[in-house]
Amino acid sequence: MTKMTEAELMQLLAAITPPDEAARAAAHAHWASLAKPLGGLGALETMLEDAAALTGTAQFDFSRRAVVVLCADNGVVAQGVSQTGQSVTRAVAENLAARRTSVCRMAQAAHCDVLPVDLGIAGAPVPGVRDCRIAAGTADFTKGPAMTRAEAVEAIGRGIALTRQLAAEGYGLVATGEMGIGNTTTSSAVAAVLLAQPVQTMTGRGAGLSDAGLARKVDTIRRGIACNVPNPDDVLDVLSKLGGFDIAGLCGMFLGGALAGVPVLMDGFISGVAALCAVRLCPAASKAVFASHCSTEPAARLVLEALGKTPLLTAGLHAGRGHRRSGQYPTVGHGAGGVRGVLFLCGGRHCAVYAPMLTLVLGGAASGKSEYAEALVLRSALPRYYLATMQVWDAECAARVEKHRKMRAAKQFETLECPLHLETVRLPRSGTALLEDLGNLTANELYDPAGAGDAAAEHILQGLDALAAQCENLIVVSNEVFSGGADYAGDTDRYLLALAQVNNALAARADAVVRVVCGIPVHYKGVEK
């Protein structure tokens, strides 16, 4: 792929024209002439008029649409700003290529193509992912610039080329997605500088950081800004010093949309920061930016206000891991981590609601939690997987395991043994997975010589993220800890603290948290479906 120079980029930006107000007026007249209340479609009607102003006609065609997921790793992850490691970026990219993520299922229901793109994943290229690599990830911005200025321009150029190519292939609508562990950190850093806001205001918990993790993230961004001293009046300087290949590529996609007359859907905080970069580079590019929703990241609303965009959907969505995202227009869409969320298809002959879920089921011994979790799985018509965590120590234990395997097989479960190293599990195909249970898994990782030892909690959470990226629904069973109020010492306390850490982090990112008491489910988060 040909590299773009900064001079060539500036030439392209100069070619972006203001929106076509005559086409906007024509679209307005068309919708006003229909047998409905004036402005009856609300924000959707306004966005249709905006689309006319971008494309130059009130007769546009959105029948071909694509979600482009830009994947890249960020060196700043070395500072402990994320609960997961870079391996998750690769795992999700692999599943995007295999069409096993939730965004792929959502896009399929919406008759929307998914294009995963590698702009800089650490390690070797991922088979099945379009190779637009600039480098194998960015540098740690607390030590110096994340990338060179030329690399930032190159990433923008590749984003421009992607959108223009899709337009040439007949796509009338492009939605943005991204996958890169650590990219809420890079986005917060870029936004803090461009909007001249305190770092703490612009920084959120991402995929569910603890208070200590959030404090470490804020400190990391402050150190990165102090180290690099980016110029807020020079977008390329800010992007190259604090950003990522994915943000720069997304910035290019918005610019490409403005050049090709294709609406580009902005999804959440990270793509919002990319859109802000695009508009700061060329204000006329704002015509190609269409806001799907406002996430709960602290800076998301500030970014939307700076762009002057009103999202179609405000529903408390917070993906954290943007790789699972989808949006359609006039369809509204959102997804996360493998994608958490709901896709609503409206206004056409196809209507669908798709709601992938992460559910945590807690309970004491013999509380009925396992039976409840299994009942949830049996409601699903998708392939069923049972992730067994018990270690086999002797013949009696092996016989018990085999008995349970046969019982589960009769219920159409496929059993996968995973007493250690959950991150290595690969599901044969996407479906509903039941992990039973976190108590066993934590003990195994803590005490088995081949386990993670004191890093057990972090290791397990990484594995859960990698697993969630592969399935449509993930149900995890765990034991309550510390509810009895007793004090423990030694290894017991060490074990309980590790399990509590896993439980708390998983509950923060789960769609539903259910505690089972005497066989009765009590919903602490989410509602029973």
Domain co-membership, 349 together with 362: no
305 & 361 share domain: no
Do 467 and 509 have their domain in common?
A: yes
20, part of any domain: no
In a domain, 246, yes or no: yes
Residue owning tokens 């998983």 = 506
Give 118-157 pLDDT, tens digit per residue: 999 999 999 999 999 999 999 999 999 999 999 999 999 9
Same domain for 93 and 231, yes or no, is yes
Percent of the chain at pLDDT > 90 equals: 58
3-class SS letters over 452-516: CHHHHHHHHHHHHHHHHCCCCEEEEEEECCCCCCCCCCHHHHHHHHHHHHHHHHHHHHCCEEEEE
Domain membership of residue 14 (yes or no) is no
Convert the pLDDT of each residue in 32-65 to its tens digit: 887 677 777 777 888 889 999 999 998 878 888 9
What sign does the CA torsion over 20, 22, 23, 27 have? Answer: positive
pLDDT above 80 for 379: yes
Domain range enclosing 405: 357-525
Same domain, yes or no: 300 and 432: no
Nearest to 181 by CA among 237, 137, 144: 137
Query: Structure pTM?
Result: 0.69
Let me know whether 361 and 340 are in one domain: no
Q: Are residues 337 and 378 in the same domain?
A: no
Does 394 lie in the same domain as 277?
Answer: no
Could you report the per-residue pLDDT of 394-442, keeping only the tens digit for each? 787 777 778 878 888 888 999 999 999 998 999 888 789 999 989 999 9
pLDDT mean across residues, the chain: 85
Co-location of 99 and 163 in the same domain? yes
Give the whole-number percent of the chain exceeding pLDDT 70: 88
b/e burial code for range 152-180 (CB count within 10 A of at least 16 → b): bbbbbbbbbbbbbebbeeebbbbbbbbbb
Does some domain include residue 204?
A: yes
The pLDDT of residue 338 is above 50 = no
Could you tell me which residues are beta bridge partners of residue 436?
388, 477
| Domain count for the chain | 2
Q: How confident is the model at residue 320 (pLDDT cuts 50, 70, 90)?
A: very low
Asked if 423 and 463 touch (Cβ cutoff 8 Å), the reply is: yes
Rg (Cα) of the chain, in Å, rounded? 24
Q: Please indicate, yes or no, if residue 29 is contained in any of the structural domains.
A: no
Q: How far apart are CA 204 and CA 428, in angstroms?
A: 35
Based on the fold, state whether residues 146 and 231 are members of the same structural domain: yes
Q: Where is the domain boundary, 354, 372, 390?
A: 354
Confidence at residue 298, expressed as pLDDT on a 0 to 100 scale: 66
Q: What is the CATH number of the domain that holds 496?
A: 3.40.50.300
Q: Which of 310, 331, 354 is the last residue of a domain?
A: 354
Residue 7 lies in a domain: no
Query: Is 350 in the same domain as 366?
Result: no
